[in-house]
Structure 1
């Protein structure tokens, strides 16, 4: 059954990539027994894989097919999964970020989340998810299809690719120009020290003494930003 629940989410996302009507996929994901979410998503890899694919699929569906605009697309409970309705914010900040408060830079928990969100949430925040979730803007990372077996490798690839494309290192100024994602979710990244370590890990540049400058985010819409296979 584990492969089935993951396949349902991936097939839903694939239908949107191919610009096919997703009604059949929506029905399948909605009809999943609720206990399957607890029974089959019993590891960090399984949780992250399923919810990343679901987030990206539902965002595309709601924006492209239903024309839901911001901020309603994030806040309203419009994602029906296993008979339960979730908002995109609940999937991202509740489940994948372990119920962090949305506007607290990753440092404070949200104390008012539903019980089911607490039960489904990951045990540990993985900052790499920020290079996997796509909200339809040009500055967002591209959409990929994540699998349980290759998740760590895929998240590493997504992180390295995003940092190579979006990070500017200026040795003459001793500055790192980093995505605005690092500012919004600073706690997830382990603060500025964590960002420097991430840059060194993925880009191989020692930036220990560099000042971090957060870049502006380009919110122009791009609903077809899929990673190359």
Structure 2
């Protein structure tokens, strides 16, 4: 019995460690996943039927997708667009899904490259680089599956928290990201969101920064900027001289609101 259990564990770990190998160039052809993810959002923004784009995302071959997403900018732009497209599509089609937010975020309902995924799986398993959903950015997922191991974005990018729209009123507006301009777009989006969701206030004679609870929920992710303090300095909310002031986190408005598009 023990040997069987050990063998099963070894086989499970071995399966988890595999990755889809990128397809050769002649199999990629004209496949452009980023153009497809952008078309999905453009269609949703225009209010037209996007069932064709949804079907094309589902039909992508994992090996072709892995080969086509060749750079970090391509990976980030594709998965941020696809996450936002998934959420907008599902909640526009059936707003009642949001009545139980926990079930909405954890239930697989959207297929990419043959894998049906939930918003949680896409956000934490891939976009955040394989982080545990409840680990505050300090605890990775222990046994990622083959799909996640192939597509997770190594090291993540803390800026995505100001780009991902989960359907709530306080979420960042949906912007359509292109690999060529991702860096410029995401930096501008972070600055815009934080400017609208941060304020310096006086509390009992003490200056306090009131800002987004995203910093509290994903604290460990901001290590790519040497921590939350330096992130806030980098994006102009604080200065080096006052970055250690007391912080408070505003309540997050979870009211359902789709169709929040960047100008």
Q: One fold, TM greater than 0.5?
A: yes
Q: Is residue 216 from structure 1 mapped to residue 251 from structure 2 by the alignment?
A: yes
Deviation digits for residues 48-71 of structure 1, max 9, x if unmatched? Answer: 100000000010111110332322
* C-alpha spacing 1:192/1:51, structure 2 compared with 1 (3 Å): closer
Bigger radius of gyration among the two: 2
Q: Quick check: 1:43 aligned with 2:61?
A: no
Shift of 1:141: 0.7
Q: How many residues align?
A: 228
Q: CA deviation at 1:212?
A: 1.4
Match runs of 1:73-222 below 5 Å: 73-170=104-201, 173-190=206-223, 194-203=227-236, 205-206=238-239, 207-222=242-257
For structure 1, the residue ranges without an aligned partner over 5 or more in a row are none
Structure 1 residue 14: deviation in Å? 1.2
Larger helix proportion, structure 1 or 2? 2
Once residues 19 and 72 of structure 1 are traced to their aligned partners in structure 2, the CA distance between those partners, rounded to angstroms, is: 26
Structure 1 window deviating more from structure 2 (92-101 vs 61-70): it is: 61-70
- Give 5+ residue unaligned stretches, structure 2: 1-28
User: What value does the CA root-mean-square deviation take over the aligned residues?
Assistant: 1.9
SS for the counterpart of 2:235 is: helix
TM-score normalised over the length of structure 2 = 0.81
Distance 1:125 1:21 in 2: 32
Give 1:3 shift: 7.0
